[in-house]
Amino acid sequence: MLKSLDPRVNRLNLPEQFEAPMASIEALDQFETYQAFVQLKEGKPFEHAGIVHAPNEEMAFLFAKEQYTRRGMICNALCVVKTESIMVSEITDNGQDVYDSFSGSFSEDDSASFEIFHLLKRGKQHKYIGNVKAKDFEDALLASKQLYPRTKPVYNVWVVRSEDILMSEPEDADLWNTLKEKQYREAIAYKAADKIKAFKEEQA
């Protein structure tokens, strides 16, 4: 048996040598990916935080909560969307507004509900802009173009059907109630200048 300095590893009873390489599996056990968006404070826009791998949306929510909102002093809400459910526009650069490339006019058909996210700077996060009612994805882009006037160029747009979003309920805001108590996760909790000073004085 492999002997480790880590008592946890010793409890795994690892063999000194594996007899064969790890069995390869036909299909890799890959889950779907979900995009997570976080709202730090009520009234602030949701921002894209990152992805999680999960087999379904409620597990994606469980995972995103700890991966993306376990630290910082505050968080108000979280939502997850299956990556597949996001319609992604073209991406532009160098001051070009991506909306300029959408031609046609909004159908005025408000039969479906969509949420719009903008990328305002390459390298930054997509931010939530608002809701539009439209016929389909393309139409939602046109509706958004009309509804949300822009002062700065938008480089990329994500469009999601509202029904495809799993969002924390307002009463779930208490999930983040004790964040500010978890100071041990923050750099600010580790001050020791006094100790160094005392030590130096003692040495001198």
Partner 1 sequence: MNTEGIKDLLYKMADDQLIIGHRNSEWTGFGPLLEEDIAFSSMAQDKVGQSYQLYNILNELGEADPDTIAFMRNADQFHNCQLVELPNGEYDFSLVRHFLFDTAELLRFQMLSNSSFEPLANLSRKIKGETKYHSMHANIWIKQLGSATEESISRLQSALEYALPFALGIFEPSSHEQDLINEGIFEGEDALKNKWIEVITAVINETRLSLPDFKSITPVYGGRMGKHTEHLQPLLEEMSEVFKVDPTSDW
Partner 2 sequence: MYGGGNVFETMKATALADEDPVKLAEFEARIDRGEKIEPTDWMPQLYRKQLIRMIEQHAHSEIIGALPEGTWITRAPGFKRKLALMAKVQDEVGHGQLLYSAAETLGKSREQMIQDLISGKSKYSNIFNYPAFTWADSCFISWLVDAGAIVNQVANSKGSYGPYCRALERICAEESFHLKYGHHCVIHLATGTKKQREMMQAAVNRWWAPMMHFFGPSDKISVHSEILMRWKVKMASNDECRQQFLDMYVPKIWELGLTIPDEKLKKNQETGQWEFTEPDWEEFKRVINGDGPCNKERLAVRRIAEERGRWVRQALLAPKSKYVTPLA
User: Which residues of the chain form contacts with partner 2 (CB under 8 A)?
Assistant: 2, 4-9, 12, 14-15, 18, 21-22, 24-25, 28-33, 35, 48, 50-53, 55-56, 59, 67, 71, 83-84, 86, 88, 91, 93-94, 119, 122-126, 156, 158, 182, 184-192, 195-196, 198-200, 203
Q: Which does 93 bind (CB under 5 to 8 A by kind): partner 2, partner 1, none?
A: partner 2
Most distant CA pair in the chain, distance: 80
According to DSSP, the residues that pair with 156 across neighbouring strands are: 119
Closest CA to 35 of 84, 74, 76, 90: 84
- 175 touches partner 1 by CB under 8 A: yes
Name the residue type at position 68: Y
- The CA-atom distances, in angstroms, between 49 and each of 4, 35, 64 are 37, 8, 9
| Extended strands (E) in 83-155 | 86-88, 112-119, 127-134
Site string for partner 1, 132-171 (x = CB under 8 A): ----------------------------------------
What's the rounded Cα separation, in Å, for the pair 99 and 89? Answer: 9
Residue 15 or 149 having the CB closest to partner 2: 15
Task: Please report how close the Cβ of residue 67 comes to partner 2 at its closest, in angstroms.
Answer: 6
- 7 touches partner 1 by CB under 8 A: yes
Whether residue 37 contacts residue 64, with contact meaning beta carbons closer than 8 Å, is answered with: no
- 120 touches partner 1 by CB under 8 A: no
The first and second tokens of residue 23, run together, are 């069995």
Site string for partner 1, 26-55 (x = CB under 8 A): -----x--------------------xxxx
Residue 15 or 43 having the CB closest to partner 2: 15
The torsion angle over the Cα atoms of residues 123, 129, 134 and 138, rounded to 10 degrees, is: -10
Query: Under the rule (CB under 8 A), what is the footprint of partner 1?
Result: 7-8, 11-12, 31, 52-56, 58-59, 62-63, 65-67, 70, 172, 174-178, 181-182
